[in-house]
Every structure is written in C-alpha cells, then in structure tokens.
Amino acid sequence: MFDTLKPKIKAITNTKEETETKLKNICDLLQENVPHYDWVGFYFRNGKKEELKLGPYTGEPTDHTIIPFGKGICGQVAVSNQNFVVPDVQAQDNYIACSITVKSEIVVPLFVNGENIGQIDIDSNTPDPFTDEDERFLEFVNAEVAKIIEP
C-alpha cells in the first residue's frame, strides 16, 4: 500500500500549489488511503517559542492548536527528535486526549537541514496498528515535505 502512495506524495510536493495546500493534500491522501489513519496533521515549531502550532490537518477538529514542548506525545517528539509510536494511548501518562475514539498514535519528527521544525502526527481509532512500515513511510513523507519547506 505505501509503495503506491509514494509517487502520489511526490506528485503533490511537485505541484505549483502553495505549501499549505500541498500539506493539506498530503493529509487528505493519507487519511483516505490508509485505513488506520483516522486523523492526520502537521505541527510546526511556533517561531522561536518552545511550542508547536497546528498546521494543515484532516480529521475531527482539535482544540490542541498549541502544544508546549515536552507535553503530550507531540511535545515529547519536539524535544527528543525521535519517532514515537503509542500502541495504546490509555497506557501513556503524558498523553493529551484529542478524542475518546483515539486508541493509538504515531508521531514522526520533520527535519529541515538537520533541525526539527515540526512533525507529522497520526491518530488511529484502531488499537496498536502501527508497524515499522508506517514509520519508514512517514519518514519518507517528511523527507519529501522537507524539500518544500522554506528554512
């Protein structure tokens, strides 16, 4: 499945659309084509502040438009610079609940010129659906996105 999505990701990033539109189109593509991706969004560092700001996303609206570094899964990834896979959100002490239907989450940092400038965040209503294949695919997505983000 992911191999068929890779050329579609590249096609989106190579369009003449604005970056925000490209990011939204990537979110839409992933949510529509990966059955266990129920909420897909990008968070970016909010200027020089130690917080993340919600960017384009697809799925249920969220109140979490600003996330302090260190708080929740996204905030932890902003500090650790490491992928974070949560098979069961109920088992996480530092989890920020976006919806009662969310069972698991994966967050992969987005690097531009070696700097963590944001992340892709995926919530799933399916318990423990994420594999190494998801991680590698989302790393690919972020590498493609990094090419269109202005440093």
Any domain includes 119: yes
pLDDT value for 42: 98
Alpha-carbon torsion 50, 54, 60, 64, what sign? positive
How far is Cα 33 from Cα 28, in angstroms, rounded to an integer? 8
How far is Cα 47 from Cα 141, in angstroms, rounded to an integer? 23
- Residue 96: how many CA atoms within 13 Å on its side-chain side? 16
pLDDT value for 109: 98
The answer to whether 142 and 106 have CB atoms below 8 angstroms apart is no
Any domain includes 151: no
Range of the domain at 26: 2-146
Residue ranges for the chain with pLDDT beneath 70: 93-98, 151
pLDDT value for 151: 59
pLDDT value for 32: 98
Our CA angle for 149, 39, 60, nearest 5°, is 110
Any domain includes 10: yes
Q: Which of 84, 92, 86, 116 is nearest to 104 (CA)?
A: 86
Any domain includes 139: yes
Any domain includes 13: yes
CATH of the domain at 27: 3.30.450.40
Any domain includes 90: yes
Into how many domains does the chain fold?
A: 1
Give tens-digit pLDDT for 133-148.
999 999 999 999 999 9
How far is Cα 72 from Cα 94, in angstroms, rounded to an integer? 5
Any domain includes 68: yes
pLDDT value for 100: 79
83-115 b/e (C-beta count within 10 Å ≥ 16 → b): bbbbeebeebeebbebeeebbbbbbbbbbbeee
Any domain includes 140: yes
What number of other Cβ atoms are within 10 A of residue 5's Cβ?
Answer: 17
